[in-house]
Chains A and B, each alone.
Chain A
């Protein structure tokens, strides 16, 4: 059984939703992001989204955009991110890792080679922001062949008939972009989220997680109850980035700050 499925099955038994914190690989440097990745499960991460830095993250807000720039400055490459996950796996074999990024670095790397290497690094799922179902056949067959879940994105703008069509072949879980907007800006209301989940659950049996605009423990608690999990990205990065020195380098406070934020989110999700 895949790590993703095992994880959601276990949480279902526990009667709660998942917490999916996000980290931008190599932000602000490789060692810090590896240390954060390693300590995230103990702080309460059920699944982890690892962002692959890209020069032009047009679906992301300023917080993730700046994190990506720091990551690139620290030397992040797609290969480097896979190596990071490979190192993480030496100590952790159960926490699902989902790579999140844009298509061009994968395209340049070569889709087939990338899927093989991602499998070898024990990645579990892929979210490619700018690869909608209409274009996903470029990547999906290779991902499937390597047992990688291609996580389907859905949005408030996705009509019901389209939901059914694009979720037909979805695997792993479904990611609901809960606002029309970029990451780390506004938030969906409880009612909006509830209405969306009704639509989504009618179209898929897979777990559905909500992301974009979830920043406080209370928002994470609500989202993880209405859906099957809450993704928190910008809020963690923002707190952590506030601890960097004037050169954008990590300080002694950086790691504890990010982990504290994850702990408070995890507590709310479990509470």
Chain B
């Protein structure tokens, strides 16, 4: 970097957060029990060290290229675009990564860090099972013990992924507390970690949790946006007119958004899961229907009642079924840089089928929420405008769920 770009451009950049205590505006922070606090400080130190170590970056690049399969393509979805009759839609094909989703980008980064820190046992939470599968995969690759916490409801609706984790040698613990979804799995994973701090690394799957997780996971996922930003310029000669990504905790969205944050002319759309509808009481839209609060180590928008009790989220997609959202998203909402919108279960189901029929790509139900918003937006735009949709995962795992919703017995 030339010296003259550093000070002023950094001051004007939206990409420099969080502050040294992990805050993004009022959000973020490190709200953990004292037992974990020294570990958070140790992790932060280890990550800061790794981040600036060229050897770490080289090692990560090696695995991303030869094991994960990066870079992922940017696909011009011509039939979908033509059918919608508006903007040209480009799909960032994260579903083509090994294990079938964007999750491996982050997991690969963190597992290399865990190895540097000398940890031999990995715990992780998972919702749809994509993060669990990715974690179990790298544990198999590096010969590490792997314990996955997954809500009992999710174990039921994501059976293929549960079996994949078993095959990969991970132990899957179904969590029956609460509604048996991602929030409860997160609690249980934290309990395991606090009881096994000596040898255990908590491999968080999204851009949430105590500092430094939100920043670290974002950094590892930012490769999505870095590639997409180059690819769209190669293919169209300019930046896109919109970038759309689905949001549960928000890691795929943060990954694609972050490299575009300083491109003020590129509107960014985060699609929350509206579930049965924003006002149905059965929703996972934390920004649309939540209030700032503290859970799982960070302050962020949370679905909660007037007394500060966290309420259950609902989404057809297990990966979006979480009552919170990463703190950087909450901040980007507060400052108005990202537009947070939503798509219902029904819209996602329809988008799932539309994309499958028109492009031959079966999207994960999570990613189908992003596609659903593109289906709404594209017709309102001109034919020479472009939209990038982050296709964060493939939908094989959701085939049983979709079949059930369509009344088909497999």
Contacts and interface: CB of A to CB of B under 8 A. Distances in A.
Interface stretch (B33-41, B87-95, B161-169): B33-41
Interface stretch (A125-133, A195-203, A230-238): A125-133
A59 B308 contact: no
B249 to A, nearest CB: 15
Interface stretch (A90-98, A154-162, A255-263): A154-162
B306 A108 contact: yes
Interface stretch (B109-117, B215-223, B289-297, B379-387): B289-297
A225 B257 CA distance: 57
Nearest to B293: A104
Interface string B185-202: 011001100111110000
A43 interface: no
B409 interface: no
B27 interface: no
A185 interface: yes
Contact of A65 (B177, B297, B310): B177
B38 A158 contact: yes
A109 B308 CA distance: 7
A83 B145 CA distance: 48
Given A58-B191, A105-B309, A157-B39, A135 B197 contact: no
Q: Is the interface of A mostly helix, strand, loop or mixed?
A: loop
A61 interface: yes
A105 B196 CA distance: 28
B307 A78 contact: yes
A55 B30 contact: no
Contacts of A186: 195
Given A104-B310, A131-B31, A185 B304 contact: no
A84 B24 CA distance: 37
Contacts of A105: 307-309
Contacts, number: 118
Contacts of A135: 29-31
Interface stretch (A5-13, A23-31, A140-148, A175-183): A175-183
B121 interface: no
Interface string A103-119: 11111110000000000
B183 interface: yes
Contacts of B69: none
A134 interface: yes
B297 to A, nearest CB: 7
A154 to B, nearest CB: 6
Contacts of A157: 34-39, 197
B32 interface: yes
Interface residues of B, number: 39
Nearest to A76: B307
Given A135-B30, A155-B35, A162-B38, A104 B295 contact: yes
Nearest to B184: A56
Interface in A240-258: none
A153 interface: yes
B51 interface: no
B293 A108 contact: yes
A153 B302 CA distance: 26
A72 interface: yes
A77 interface: yes
A11 B110 CA distance: 50
Contact of B35 (A108, A109, A177, A185): A177
A54 interface: yes
A58 B175 CA distance: 13
Interface string A36-60: 0000000000000000001111110
Contacts of A59: 33, 35, 190-191, 194
B294 A129 contact: no
Given A56-B295, A61-B191, A130-B297, 19 more contacts: A55-B178, A56-B187, A56-B296, A58-B186, A58-B187, A102-B294, A103-B294, A104-B308, A107-B299, A108-B308, A130-B33, A132-B31, A135-B30, A154-B34, A155-B38, A157-B38, A159-B38, A181-B195, A185-B195
Interface of A: 54-59, 61-62, 65, 72, 77-79, 102-109, 129-135, 153-159, 162, 166, 177, 180-182, 185-186
For the complex of A and B, the 6 pairs showing the least CB-CB separation, nearest first, are: A108-B308, A105-B308, A181-B195, A155-B35, A153-B34, A55-B309
